[in-house]
Amino acid sequence: MDFLRLPTVSVAHFDGCTTHDYQAGVEAALSYLGSIGRFVKPGQRVLLKPDLMYDYPGGCGYTSSPQFVAAVARAVSDVGAAVIVGDSPFVLRGNITDFWRVAGILDAAEQGHFELVNFEMSGSQAVALETRVYYISRAVLEADAVINLPRLKYDRWTGFAGGIRNMLGTLPGFQKGRLYKEVSGGRELADIMVDIFSVVRPVLTIAEAVPVNLDETSLSRGGAYIVASSDTVAIDTVLSEMLRLDQTKIHTTRAAADAGLGIGWAEAIRLAGSPLNLTGNEFRQHSPVGRKAVLRKMARGIVEPYVWMKSSVNGDLCSGCGTCLDSCPTKAIQMPVGTSTPRINYNLCICCWAGLANCPTQAIYLEESRAVRKLFPVSSHSRDATSIS
């Protein structure tokens, strides 16, 4: 084994919840890797990819803390790079601005820390791999560098949610939901996550390993850490080992290591910085995507046909401008000869929501099945945000 090529995973313990506290943690974690200047250069457009999959307040355990994202953005912009931040929600209802407000990320952006990018609006590009074609956000593919900001938590399907899984949010729209419907189980889903990770390779992964509902009480019970490495697979390996998870069941890490995308053996990874002491219990926050039993049935095809979302056109609001035709990556939106209202060919549609996000008159809207409403209820946080606007 070539010792010089062993990846380093750096760990910084911190004990506060403010942006300043996070900044100290991020700076310490980066210092063990050299500096952030090793990974990003002045003048680059750097995309930060946090975990904003659900419309829950940042820091609650499901999603990235805005303070964390702001702290990383500050470090990157200090190098002289432009910072953009984006993620595609698992299920997006209504206005993305409301979603960002709930997640707390809008405030951070308005304070000038970074620019938010709407993956649905910026469109996607087809990337054909051996197994399937993925439509990945253009904002991600066109960035000069991507920094991956996962939030450590468990995942019902893949056992563990770390840096590799976080790349799933680079698929705009309900493509993610379609993939969950298509797979037969966690192993296949892990392969999909590794596929996407093989296309979107972050220059740096900085994980937020903090307890659920980070506050002074939870901090007094356990540690909060920032964990960083240029090797995402190494970070996932270290974190899942610390949580004492059965490594043979963490297929994302195994498959990515086998594909040569990083190092997946703890013995081959150098740790730097603070000792990492995760008990596991404070991270026992599963993804809120439905109940395990329901998802299992869905995978077996019982519920699956009833789980759908689709975009539709309201002819009364349509001006016939044609913007949606240009936005659609699969040419699923067509304007029949002799008409001025587009039609959608659902056989071609990949549910990326680009037409909807770009329609100037809101003539394109989302339809969803009852099963989707049951599985992904609109959170009270989201309702509050919507009533504010």
> Which residue ranges make up the site for ligand SF4 (CB under 6 A)?
173, 311, 313, 318-324, 327-328, 330, 332-333, 342, 344, 349-355, 359, 361, 363-364
Which sign does the torsion angle of CA 33, 20, 107, 150 carry? positive
Please, what is the minimum distance in Å from the beta carbon of residue 315 to ligand SF4?
8
Please, what is the minimum distance in Å from the beta carbon of residue 193 to ligand SF4?
21
Please, what is the minimum distance in Å from the beta carbon of residue 335 to ligand SF4?
7
3-state secondary structure 148-214: ECCECECCCCCCCECHHHHHHHHCCCCHHHHHHHHCCCHHHHHHHHHHHHHHCCCCEEEEEECCCCC
Which sign does the torsion angle of CA 241, 245, 247, 252 carry? negative
Nearer to ligand SF4, 149 or 324 (CB): 324
Residues 305 and 314: beta-carbon distance below 8 Å: no
Can you tell me the distance from the alpha carbon of 208 to that of 151, in angstroms, rounded to the nearest whole number? 5
Please, what is the minimum distance in Å from the beta carbon of residue 336 to ligand SF4?
12
Q: What beta strand segments (E) does 15-78 contain? A: 45-49
Please, what is the minimum distance in Å from the beta carbon of residue 170 to ligand SF4?
15
Q: Residue 209 pairs with which residues in a beta bridge? A: 225
Eight-state DSSP code of residue 146? E
Nearer to ligand SF4, 33 or 171 (CB): 171
Nearer to ligand SF4, 18 or 319 (CB): 319
Can you tell me the distance from the alpha carbon of 293 to that of 272, in angstroms, rounded to the nearest whole number? 41
Question: C-alpha 2: how far from its chain's center?
Answer: 33
Please, what is the minimum distance in Å from the beta carbon of residue 308 to ligand SF4?
12
